[in-house]
Amino acid sequence: MTIAEKIRNFREQRSWSQRELAKRSELASGTLSHLETGKFRGDLDTHQKLARALGITLGELYRGVEGLDLENGSTPISPSSEAVETFRYNEKAQAILLATQVLQKPFLPQLLRLQPGGQTHREQNRLGCEKWVFVLQGVIEIQIGEQSHRLEPYGSIFFKASEPHQLTNSGASIAECITVTSPVEV
């Protein structure tokens, strides 16, 4: 079963329209439509909003989804592996999970790829959550609260992810960075 089928099944079990679930989860109706048709897989934040709106845990949403094994041991991933999960923030920003079974891990490692002008949405994790960012290529501006930080290749920053933060590619070429968030929020 795909994540799209799981979302649609949970919504239909409650006899809700897409518009109703979108409203309850504070997502755009178009985003939910793309999620349910499989055009877009969403990201961890989107999945958390849907799970809360549906009154289920993230584990219940992920249970039985192809490529996710939450019950058994580790699953190695490679660049060609179907187990690799990619989440799109928008057309210019995507995150690739660098681990499987993220709910069983103490941290969430991701490769963030930003096109020129691309940016993540403004995130704010719960109190006690921390994030580390390491730039592989390009130039990334990180807004943390009221402060802005410019990172170039091999630059890194560690910060309290409970502060509102957003990453933006301020350069003319693709930017990539590794982000590690701990703990994984469910």
Q: How sure is the predictor about 61, in pLDDT bands with cuts at 50, 70 and 90? A: confident
Q: Give the residue-averaged pLDDT of 157-181.
A: 95
Over 80: is that where the pLDDT of 166 sits?
A: yes
Is residue 61 a contact partner of residue 50, using CB atoms and an 8 Å limit? yes
Considering the chain, what percentage of its residues have pLDDT values greater than 70? Answer: 86
Picking from 26, 32, 43, the residue whose alpha carbon sits closest to that of residue 8 is: 32
CATH 1.10.260.40 fits 3-62, yes or no: yes
The pLDDT of residue 67: 57
How do residues 101-125 score in pLDDT, each as one tens digit?
766 778 889 999 999 999 999 998 8
Domain 86-182: give its CATH superfamily.
Jelly Rolls (2.60.120.10)
* Residue extents of the structural domains in the chain: 3-62, 86-182
Q: Which residue, chain included where needed, has tokens 């985003």? A: 31
* Mean pLDDT, range 8-28, rounded to an integer: 93
Helix axes 3-13, 29-37, angle to 10 degrees: 120
Neighbours of 17 (CB within 10 A): 12
The answer on pLDDT for 1 being more than 50 is yes
Over 90: is that where the pLDDT of 86 sits? no
Query: Is the entire prediction scored with pTM above 0.75?
Result: no
Backbone angle region of 113, left / alpha / beta, with phi > 0 → left and psi within -120 to 50 → alpha: beta
